[in-house]
Amino acid sequence: MLEELRITGLGVIEDTTLPLTAGMNVITGETGAGKTMVVTGLGLLFGGRADAGRVRAEPGRAVVEGRLRLSGPSAAAVQARVAEAGAEPDEDGALLLSRTVTAEGRSRAHVGGRSMPVAVLSEVGEQVLAVHGQSDQLRLLRPAEQRAALDRFAGAGHEKLLEAFAEKYAQWRRITEDLADRRRNARERSQQADLLRLGLDEITRVDPQPGEDDALRAEAQRLEHAEGLRTAAQQAYLAVAGGAEAGDDSPDATAMLGTARRTLAAQAPVDPALGELAARLEEAATLVTDVGAELSGYLAQLDADPARLTEVYERRAALRALTRKYAEDVAGVIAWADRARERLGELDTSDELLDELDRERQRLAAEVGELAGRLTAARAEAAGRFAADVTAELAGLAMPHARIEVAVLPRGGAEPIGPDGADEVEMRLLAHPGAPALPLQKGASGGELSRVMLAIEVVFAGSGGPPTLVFDEVDAGVGGQAAVEIGRRLARLARSHQVLVVTHLPQVAAFADRHLVVAKDTGGAVTTSGVRVVEDTERARELARMLAGLPDSDLGIAHAEELLAVAAREKPAR
């Protein structure tokens, strides 16, 4: 759950901290006081889009910090993702999150005190938080969202079936589009293939080898300067180990090192230091002997063959002809040939290949159809359970005669099967007995839609989901007994989830385990807002303000205290 939220420099909020509890947290305040900034801050903390226009001019940046206490089914997934990103919780098990947005639009994120991509905050947010506002109600009116809601309700087995369908559908689409493209562009593909074959034939005739151009360049240089190389190597060899071969009586390096070593070794018993130098001279003599042997081998293999030099020139010319056409070097030419061979396979429009692709397309189409049928059956089964559960919740939200129907219909449009299956899902509301079943967008008022949305969320909460739920004025357009029932249902939801509610209804606020008020201060040159926890008399005064706009009215306070007493009696035990 979210234990604490601190917001600095965001909108009208200068600097405030929200201490949150595990149950139902209600946030109230005058219109324009900044209640929405709390939800905006939550969105930023969990990876939402940064809006520089919300940042206060002073100090020129907005900072949102949160302290998460990980527990429940999502804890393991969050800890694994955080550890993978290189962060870790504090010693007490809390996870610190932070998001900073500057007035220039730059954004930074931190998890566990370490800098992270904002995407990590988003991934954590998906596991721990779900935000529901009036925009979510509008989203629920879209058929695609209704289908997604039903799929979510249907459970883990249905989700696996949906994944299997999506994978098979993607394979079928790829091969269908590939086959159509090969048939549609056969002439252009054939022309491209001919050009590629010409290039491959030319490269194959030359048969360039990896690194051959560098090796030939080095060989040509040796052949061109063979005489100079031979003279230098011969003179060095004679000086190092030539001896009598040098043609005079001067000793070679090996002999001189041997004489020096023996001379020093003879005096080693007198002074050990000379013995150490003698040993080093012996090592030097060994090294010089090795160099002499290598020089001898070099001279033996040094070739001044003019015919070979001509062959090297011709081979380099053939390679240069390829590099002028296909790439900068031999490695690039070989890579071009590899790509050309792959592309030839893609350009193939032979009857044999087209027939093979068509058979594969038909096979995949049959599998897609079979999986789509299983999806339809699973959705139809889940639709009945979903409708019954939501209808039962509506009965407790002052809509005792309303009923929800969930229709699974054949997919419209030119293609009977799409990436989500062969179905459209339509949620319908029967507002009262005898009323027609109308789609939500036609049959539900604003207040009814709020209660339908809340009923759906309560149903979802029973099957898991994020541990923290945020409701941003989803009770708009509701009043009276319906408002009381919404408060009761939110309190019921808070038995298994942490619930944050931004509301203007006192009937809802009365059910809170913790009541936070956003208060606006207009005393200075700049309007600011802060958040404080209210209890006892202060809480009654806030409810009186919400009831009648009269926080100091004795009658209003009495009414508020009565409302609090009723909520305390009816609030479900945690």
pLDDT in tens, 40-58: 888 889 888 888 778 887 7
Helix (H, G, I), strand (E, B) or coil at 39: helix
pLDDT digits (tens, 9 = 90+) for 525-551: 566 778 889 998 899 999 999 887 877
Residue 111 contacts residue 124 (beta carbons within 8 Å): yes
Give yes or no: residues 84 and 13 share one domain: yes
Sign of CA dihedral 133, 138, 139, 140: positive
The answer on pLDDT for 309 being more than 70 is: yes
The answer on pLDDT for 552 being more than 60 is: yes
Give yes or no: residues 529 and 546 share one domain: no
**206 falls within a domain:** no
CA distance 51 to 301: 74
pLDDT of residue 173: 94
**346 falls within a domain:** no
Comparing 374 with 190, the larger pLDDT belongs to: 374
Contacts of 511 (CB under 8 A, 6+ apart): 24, 26, 487, 488, 490, 491, 567, 570, 571
Task: Please give the share of the chain, as a percent, with pLDDT higher than 70.
Answer: 94
The answer on pLDDT for 497 being more than 80 is: yes
From 159-163, 241-245, 327-331, 469-473, the region with the lowest mean pLDDT: 241-245
**69 falls within a domain:** yes
The answer on pLDDT for 88 being more than 90 is: no
pLDDT of residue 418: 92
Give yes or no: residues 526 and 466 share one domain: yes
Residue 424 contacts residue 412 (beta carbons within 8 Å): yes
Helix (H, G, I), strand (E, B) or coil at 251: coil
Residue 95 Cα distances to 3, 78, 79, 87, angstroms: 10, 10, 9, 9
CA distance 516 to 24: 11
Give yes or no: residues 374 and 522 share one domain: yes
pLDDT digits (tens, 9 = 90+) for 440-492: 878 777 667 777 877 887 787 666 668 888 888 766 667 777 788 888 888 88
CA distance 443 to 449: 9
Checking phi first, is residue 86 left (phi over 0); if not, alpha (psi -120 to 50) or beta?
left
**pLDDT (mean) for 153-160:** 90
Give yes or no: residues 469 and 555 share one domain: no
pLDDT of residue 241: 74
User: Which residue range is the domain that position 458 belongs to?
Assistant: 2-155+369-534
**pLDDT (mean) for 83-107:** 86
pLDDT of residue 463: 61
Contacts of 306 (CB under 8 A, 6+ apart): none
Give yes or no: residues 468 and 554 share one domain: no
Helix (H, G, I), strand (E, B) or coil at 497: coil
pLDDT of residue 21: 92
**pLDDT (mean) for 56-82:** 84
Which residues share a beta bridge with 427?
406
Summary mean pLDDT of the chain: 84
Q: How many Cβ atoms sit within 10 Å of the Cβ of residue 242?
A: 22
CA distance 342 to 377: 42
Give yes or no: residues 526 and 540 share one domain: no
Closest listed residue to residue 423, CA positions, set 378, 454, 390: 378
**84 falls within a domain:** yes
pLDDT digits (tens, 9 = 90+) for 224-257: 777 787 778 778 877 887 655 555 566 778 778 8
Give yes or no: residues 36 and 139 share one domain: yes
**224 falls within a domain:** no
Confidence of residue 313 (pLDDT cuts 50, 70, 90): confident
Give yes or no: residues 75 and 53 share one domain: yes
**pLDDT (mean) for 53-75:** 83
The order of strands in the sheet holding 498-502 is: 114-116, 107-111, 94-102, 61-69, 2-10, 13-19, 528-534, 514-521, 24-29, 498-502, 468-472, 129-133
CATH number for the domain harbouring residue 137: 3.40.50.300
Residue 516 contacts residue 25 (beta carbons within 8 Å): yes
**pLDDT (mean) for 312-334:** 88
**469 falls within a domain:** yes
Give yes or no: residues 550 and 430 share one domain: no
Confidence of residue 215 (pLDDT cuts 50, 70, 90): confident
Task: Give the CA-trace dihedral at 375, 381, 386, 391, to 10 degrees.
Answer: 140
**Domain count for the chain:** 2
**pLDDT (mean) for 192-217:** 88
Backbone angles phi, psi at 192, to 5 degrees: -60, -40
Strands 129-133 and 468-472: parallel
pLDDT of residue 415: 85
The answer on pLDDT for 74 being more than 70 is: yes
CA distance 409 to 439: 13
**356 falls within a domain:** no
Give yes or no: residues 506 and 541 share one domain: no
Give yes or no: residues 417 and 540 share one domain: no
pLDDT of residue 245: 57
DSSP 70: -
**pLDDT (mean) for 540-569:** 87
pLDDT of residue 247: 53
pTM confidence score: 0.62
**63 falls within a domain:** yes
